[in-house]
Amino acid sequence: MNRTALIQLIRRKQSFLCVGLDSEFSKIPTHLLNCDDPIYEFNKQIIDATIDLTIAYKPNLAFYESQGLKGWQSLEKTMQYLNRFKDDVFTIADAKRGDIGNTSRLYAQAFLDPFSDLNFDAITVAPYMGEDSVSPFLSYEDKWVILLALTSNKGAFDFQLFQNSEGKKLYQEVIEKSARWGNSGNMMYVVGATKAEMLADIRQIIPDHFLLVPGVGAQGGSLAEVAKYGLTKDCGLLVNASRSIIFASSGTDFAIKAREEAMKMQQEMKILLSRDRS
């Protein structure tokens, strides 16, 4: 999905919601455990309940890899199901890959190649090893790299906010340098919602790039604050919510409750998108 199609999707659905499919097996509703593939059945019902409200889905690979071969099969089936709706959803592999060039080339092939079993639209990548670890992911047309920039976890303070003698923080250096590797049509950045006030500074560096913003919902980030500092005339945001939506209920009504939570966010997003940002 290219930038134009993504913007059109956001405008059509009046939403910039990304639902994180962090489908932890121990939290799957018990009535699904008798299914042949409980994780896939859970994902499918979440997707069916929210697909008209969200523009993206983001499986976090840890929750699938931890289940071994069965987990990979659940992920593959989930992606096969999502790929039926290619014009209606943007798919993100939350894989946080990043290695030497030859290894990254194979990671890119596994997750982004149109002929792979997964065929995601985008993948999250860690930039620590530099340009040659990121560039293989940028070689696929109409696919996206989502680079970790400023995350919402406590450990972000260990490195990302380190300041040099000139007063520039490490995350700012990462954004400035990496923005030259790609462009606003194939690279996004992860910026945590709990760092929303820093979005204004980030927009000074990358005014047109899309930002993937986790941390709204269970982590306590404010959607209004994120929009205040990060929203652009083309939206420029994908705001992710995971646990607050998919685990809104652990009962047989889990999909209904997930829809209710997704609709609350989508309705707020609709209002935010209606404001003039020209």
Per the annotation, the verdict on 143 as an active-site residue is no
Given a contact cutoff of 8 angstroms between Cβ atoms, the answer to whether 12 and 51 are in contact is no
- Give the span between the Cα atoms of 236 and 210, in whole angstroms: 4
Cβ partners under 8 Å of residue 38, min gap 6: 25, 28, 32
Please provide the DSSP assignment of 186-199 as one string: TEEEEE-GGGGGGH
How many other C-beta atoms are found inside a 10 Å radius of the C-beta of residue 48? 13
Any idea what the Cα angle at residue 54 is, between residues 82 and 39, rounded to 5°? 45
- Give the span between the Cα atoms of 137 and 113, in whole angstroms: 10
Cβ partners under 8 Å of residue 81, min gap 6: 40, 43, 44, 47
- Give the span between the Cα atoms of 95 and 126, in whole angstroms: 9
> Do you know the residue count of the chain?
278
- Give the span between the Cα atoms of 59 and 22, in whole angstroms: 6
Which of these is catalytic: 44, 96, 257, 270?
96
Nearest to 116 by CA among 89, 90, 143: 143
Nearest to 253 by CA among 25, 32, 39, 20: 32
| Catalytic residue set | 96
